[in-house]
A and B are shown apart, each in its own frame.
Chain A
Amino acid sequence: MTNAEKNRLKDKAFQVFGVFCTFIGLVILAIFLIDILIEGLARIDWDFITSLPSRRASRAGILTAWAGTLWILVLTSVIAFPLGIAAGVYLEEYSKKTRLANFLEVNIANLAGVPSIIYGLLGMEMFGRVMGLGGSILAGALTLSLLVLPIIIVTTREAIKAVPRSIRDASYALGASKWQTTWNQVLPASFGGILTGVILALSRAVGEAAPLIVIGALAYVPFVPTSPTDEFTVLPIQIFNWTSRPQADFLVNAAAAIIILLLITFILNGIAVYLRNKWQKRVKW
């Protein structure tokens, strides 16, 4: 066997290995999806989406759960979006490479790895007790904002880093200030990447149950929340609650609720893909 043949063989082997690795993830995901769909799909109907929780599995619905999830989603994005982007812009464009900046950087990276229940404990004390928000939607959204902020900050910075140096230099050369350069050149150019990060962060927030249970989100809420100070429940909590019931019918409900939650996540990811494509087409250097 010649050297070239050997290399070609190695190449082939790695290709097969790569395909195998890709498929492991996909196959497991497919098994999970198929299992959930078989179990839950038949349970989803208009009544299921518009009914209140009930002790009878066949009559129970997820109205208040997904309404709560939607509330949380909107409030969390309103809070985390400006904060995260502003922090990212500051760290990338303004801050000098001092010790403090280094310290902040390391901490933000670490925060992204803190277990979500810790944020729940922090949120309960800070927002629930000290600020007196209790177990309200606002307390939940603030807690989840803390949870996703590190992710948003990190992706914002990455997106901003990807903007070529020459764009900034050209802007400065025309006499623009730092703010004008950031606002008119850097942010529009990186906005697709930033939005993608924000939306992926939000789809993580949508799946969280633990920190919300800690701050006092409830399991049985028989009314749709109408203001940020109302009490609430979310889909993951409803799912968690149903899976721990003894009756098998509740497990079917849980599967159906999981499908709805997946749908929400898929929609969010779809929006992320769409926005990225739209912004990437617009940016031409």
Chain B
Amino acid sequence: MSNVRLTYTKLNFAILLGGSLLLGACGGNNKTEEGTNGTVSENLTGSIQIDGSSTVYPITEAVAEEFRAEAPDVKVTVGVSGSGGGFKKFSRGEIDLANASRSIKPEEADAAKENNISFVELSVAFDGLTVVVHPENNWVKEITVAELKKIWEPAAQGKIKKWNQIRPEWPDKEIHLYGAGVESGTYDYFTEAIVGKSHSSRGDYTASEDDNVLVQGVSTDPLALGFFGYAYYEENQSKLKAVPVDDQNDANGKGAILPSMETVKDGSYAPLSRPLFIYVNSKATARPEVVEFVNFYLDNAATLSQEVGYIPMPEEQYKEQKAKFQQFASGSAKK
């Protein structure tokens, strides 16, 4: 009996080892055939290190994947240490590009300056933070920013516990809150936009860095109210109900507005549509492969961001970002 098991194990192990030798040889031909914009010279080499936000990761991964087809000898690697972790490495000069779902903080910018690193911020796509409730929730038809503030501000902790405390016509039932974990850029953005102060909110809610956990929570709790990235709502529409948000400012669209490709793109879904960024290190722009990669990124971000669930910016904005980068790159080349 034990002999039988033994040979089996041996066999498996041999297959694994043999496989690893084989794979080294055939890992290279994974080219994609899809058309992408922009021409990249075939003979670029080198490596590009990217790290940062896990929200921006899918876009950068998609760009890196396509860039590989254009410039196969450039090794692009992408990490997911979070916006904060990414900026920390960025300001130490350990990486070339930082993915970020929020702008760099003054102290992070100072740290970069101390290490003689200047940088440029480029927006690459939008995400619409979506306020959601359980599909059986028939009382919430819309919500205002002021009401969201009332729910989420630090002063609400332990006090705002029922739906009718927010609007008297809503039922006298408990409200269960689900939201981004405090380490995420999503949390920083939401608190900034709703509470008015970044990184400040009540603490008594179900927090997770993993949006799928939040989806799971809201979709199984009829008294829930939560928020997370638009892609997570879009993929789970049957299990969730999005709430239109009214910022009570008619200049960017009247009344309460639902997040969608259009409303996020034209800016009427305010204030919860947020830009996603990449940051480029000035020293890295001296390397042609980095310049090519960033240009390739901006050329293809519109298509690729949509493909992975984000909302592309209008075309003129990509042109602006590209001009901004060109200026930055030529500026830092002179120095």
Contact = CB atoms under 8 A, between A and B. Distances in A.
Interface residues of B, number: 49
A134 interface: yes
A217 B24 CA distance: 20
A102 interface: no
B278 to A, nearest CB: 14
A219 B27 contact: no
B261 to A, nearest CB: 15
B233 to A, nearest CB: 8
B112 to A, nearest CB: 17
Interface string A223-266: 11010000100000000010111111001000000000001100
Contacts of A277: 2
A50 B58 contact: no
Q: Which of B23, B24, B26, B27 has the most CB of A within 10 A?
A: B27
A246 B51 contact: no
A221 B13 contact: no
B212 interface: yes
Contact of A55 (B12, B19, B62): B62
Contacts, number: 113
Interface stretch (A19-27, A90-98, A267-275): A267-275
Given A219-B57, A220-B78, A50 B9 contact: no
Contact of B307 (A55, A217, A244): A55
A229 B110 CA distance: 31
Given A50-B27, A246-B212, A246-B309, A55 B58 contact: yes
A222 B81 contact: no
B97 to A, nearest CB: 12
B24 A220 contact: no
B238 to A, nearest CB: 11
A247 B19 contact: no
Interface in A116-140: 134-135
B211 A55 contact: no
Contacts of A89: none
Contact of B30 (A52, A67, A135, A221): A52
A111 interface: no
B311 interface: no
Given A218-B78, A219-B79, A274-B9, A63 B27 contact: yes
Given A246-B309, A274-B6, A63 B23 contact: yes
B77 A218 contact: yes
A53 interface: yes
B235 A55 contact: no
Given A224-B23, A274-B6, A274-B9, A134 B94 contact: yes
A241 B309 contact: no
B217 interface: no
A263 B11 CA distance: 13
Q: Which of B5, B23, B210 has the most CB of A within 10 A?
A: B23
Nearest to B234: A246
Given A218-B78, A224-B27, A267-B16, 12 more contacts: A49-B19, A50-B23, A50-B27, A70-B20, A213-B80, A218-B51, A218-B77, A218-B79, A231-B77, A247-B235, A248-B235, A270-B9
10 nearest A-B pairs in the assembled complex, by CB-CB distance: A220-B78, A55-B62, A270-B9, A246-B231, A218-B79, A246-B235, A246-B232, A219-B80, A220-B61, A218-B77
